[in-house]
């Protein structure tokens, strides 16, 4: 797990498109002439006549295997759906990732494609390493008369074996800790690049009241949840087993079963107040085409007042892997009611192996957590203290990552002096040129992980530019979420 997590900031900037001749598709699905399967990997994604792509009429589901020309680390999937863009094409689908030995590595969440759009759609997922082939599992289509229609597919990632910048070696252009960068003001001087006219426009942050790990998106499950219900459990499959961290489907089976029941409600009390963004479900105790089918979620605050209800979700049957159902962020949630509306097998009733949520603690409103966004390459430092300046001033700093060869550099974009209290924030030393970041949340294409990092000022740079001289995993176990 550690090796898969060590794709640091720089790795996101080295992603490449994987399509065309890098993909060889195959399937047992029928192919309607002239729309053959090879056309989804020929580099032609237009929707104009003569139309180009794959069509399999009157089919609502099916699997297409995408063999890759080598082994890759993948981060996202590109889809051009619907050959002639007429509100057809695939609707929901999943991706299964396989190694060179054809061993299943992992399965994605269930994605929903849009119809009637000629533009490429990109679907992000947790970085999957060592992938040699992918199965595109079509679960539903928009028009069953026209069936499966795809113009083009592709992936984003990098070929395995590429070198990424993850070492702690100091670039030769970086000053040592015993050298004072010539462009750094002395402690008695206000930094010349720091505006002093904006403090009133920046809100005054307050110290965090919970740990950093609670303030970045993470899995909320296990001991954090307490389940209760009026539903009758079957034999040893009691309700507490859906929050015990065991999500396997092997004997002895573990989970909750209520026989011959087709609907009902399960209350999930949270250990505190959380801002929730998605729900995780491991459906069906023994994965035998049973389990819950349709359901919705009701969110309650600490006063047991209904905050909001989700849309109606449809779970997949016969699936071993976790299914994740996203919804607009709901703040200050203390409990959730899982309202089961239907099941796949009425005789088997309600069967659930495990449940969980994703989100953050609610008392992290000040958002003082440093963060790196891989989509924009922006490093945001809400509070930076400068103890070598008089009065230990604090600043809000934004930097943009730019790759110079294989070295990640960060260029100053904006800086404002602010008022802040507390300790433990990133700090800048004017005597060494070092920016020490004890905790930064790196938001990657699939979620995120935390790091400790060090930046060093490049002498004579204008605008101020820093190089990444060290980055290592922090203390939060978010690479392995959900935690067991």
Residue 338's closest CA among 365, 369, 305, 299?
299
Residue 126's closest CA among 452, 479, 475, 373?
479
Residue 241: per-residue pLDDT: 94
The third-level CATH classification (topology) of the domain covering 16-159 is Jelly Rolls (2.60.120)
User: What is the Cα–Cα distance from 286 to 366, expressed in whole angstroms?
Assistant: 44
What Å distances lie between residue 25 and 40, 68, 155, CA to CA? 8, 9, 13
Q: In the CATH scheme, what is the code of domain 218-361?
A: 2.60.120.260
Give the DSSP letter of residue 458: P
Phi, psi of 240 (to 5 degrees): -60, -20
How do residues 366-419 score in pLDDT, each as one tens digit?
457 788 887 788 898 988 999 988 888 999 999 999 988 888 899 999 999 988
Pairing of strands 92-98, 256-258: unpaired
Q: Give the residue range(s) of CATH 2.60.120.260 domains in the chain.
A: 16-159, 218-361
The rounded percent of the chain whose pLDDT value lies above 90 is: 39
Q: Are 481 and 126 in contact (CB under 8 A)?
A: no
How do residues 240-298 score in pLDDT, each as one tens digit?
999 988 887 777 788 999 999 999 999 999 999 999 999 999 999 888 889 999 999 99
Q: No. of H helices and E strands in the chain?
A: 2, 26
Residue 326: per-residue pLDDT: 92
How many residues are there in the chain?
484
Residues lower than pLDDT 50 in the chain: 1-14, 163-210, 366, 445-446, 478-484
Residue 443: per-residue pLDDT: 63
Tokens of 439: 């905790």
Residue 73: per-residue pLDDT: 92
**Omega before 252 cis (within 30°)?**
yes
Residue 201: per-residue pLDDT: 35
User: What is the Cα–Cα distance from 401 to 376, expressed in whole angstroms?
Assistant: 9
Residue 212: per-residue pLDDT: 64
Residue 161: per-residue pLDDT: 66
Residue 448: per-residue pLDDT: 60
Residue 115's closest CA among 138, 83, 145?
83
Q: Are 287 and 318 in contact (CB under 8 A)?
A: yes
Phi, psi of 5 (to 5 degrees): -85, -15
**For the purposes of burial, counting CB atoms within 10 Å of the CB of 314, is it exposed (0-12), middle (13-18) or buried (19 or more)?**
middle
Residue 482: per-residue pLDDT: 29
Strand, coil or helix: 256: strand
């Amino acid at each position: 797990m550690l090796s898969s997590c060590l794709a640091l900031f720089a790795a996101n900037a080295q992603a490449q498109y994987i399509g065309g001749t890098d993909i060889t598709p195959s399937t047992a699905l029928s192919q309607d002439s002239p729309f053959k399967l090879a056309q989804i990997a020929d580099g032609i994604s237009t929707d104009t006549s003569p139309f180009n792509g794959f069509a399999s009429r009157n089919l609502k589901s099916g699997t297409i295997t995408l063999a890759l020309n080598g082994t890759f680390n993948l981060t996202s999937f590109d889809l051009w759906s619907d050959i002639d863009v007429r509100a057809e094409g695939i609707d929901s689908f999943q991706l299964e990732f396989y190694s060179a030995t054809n061993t299943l590595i992992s399965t994605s969440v269930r994605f929903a494609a849009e119809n009637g759009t000629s533009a490429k759609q990109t679907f992000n997922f947790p970085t999957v390493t060592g992938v040699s082939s992918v199965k595109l599992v079509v679960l539903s289509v928009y028009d069953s008369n026209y069936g499966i229609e795809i113009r083009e597919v592709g992936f984003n990632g990098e070929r395995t074996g590429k070198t990424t910048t993850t070492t702690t070696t100091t670039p030769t252009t970086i000053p040592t800790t015993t050298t004072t960068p010539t462009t750094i003001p002395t402690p008695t001087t206000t930094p010349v690049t720091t505006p002093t006219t904006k403090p009133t426009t920046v809100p005054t942050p307050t110290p965090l009241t919970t740990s950093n790990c609670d303030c970045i998106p993470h899995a909320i499950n296990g001991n954090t949840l307490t389940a209760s219900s009026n539903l009758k459990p079957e034999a040893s499959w009691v309700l507490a087993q859906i929050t015990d961290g065991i999500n396997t489907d092997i004997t002895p089976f573990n989970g909750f079963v209520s026989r011959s029941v087709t609907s009902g409600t399960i209350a999930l009390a949270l250990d505190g107040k959380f801002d929730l963004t998605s729900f995780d479900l491991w459906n069906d105790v023994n994965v035998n085409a049973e389990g819950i089918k349709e359901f919705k979620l009701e969110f309650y605050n600490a006063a047991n007042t209904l905050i909001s209800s989700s849309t109606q979700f449809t779970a997949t049957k016969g699936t071993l892997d976790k299914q994740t159902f996203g919804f607009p962020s709901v703040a200050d949630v203390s409990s959730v009611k899982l309202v089961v509306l239907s099941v796949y097998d009425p005789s088997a009733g309600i069967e659930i192996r495990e449940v969980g949520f994703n989100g953050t603690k609610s008392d992290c409103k000040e958002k003082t957590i440093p963060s790196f966004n891989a989509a924009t390459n922006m490093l945001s430092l809400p509070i930076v203290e400068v103890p070598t300046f008089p009065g230990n001033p604090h600043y809000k700093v934004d930097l943009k990552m730019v790759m110079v060869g294989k070295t990640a550099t960060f260029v100053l974009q904006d800086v404002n002096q602010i008022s802040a209290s507390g300790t433990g924030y990133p700090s800048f030393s004017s005597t060494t040129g070092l920016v020490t970041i004890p905790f930064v949340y790196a938001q990657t294409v699939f979620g995120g992980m935390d790091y400790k990092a060090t930046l060093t000022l490049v002498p004579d740079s204008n605008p101020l530019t820093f190089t990444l001289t060290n980055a290592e995993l922090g203390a939060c176990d978010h690479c392995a979420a959900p935690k067991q």
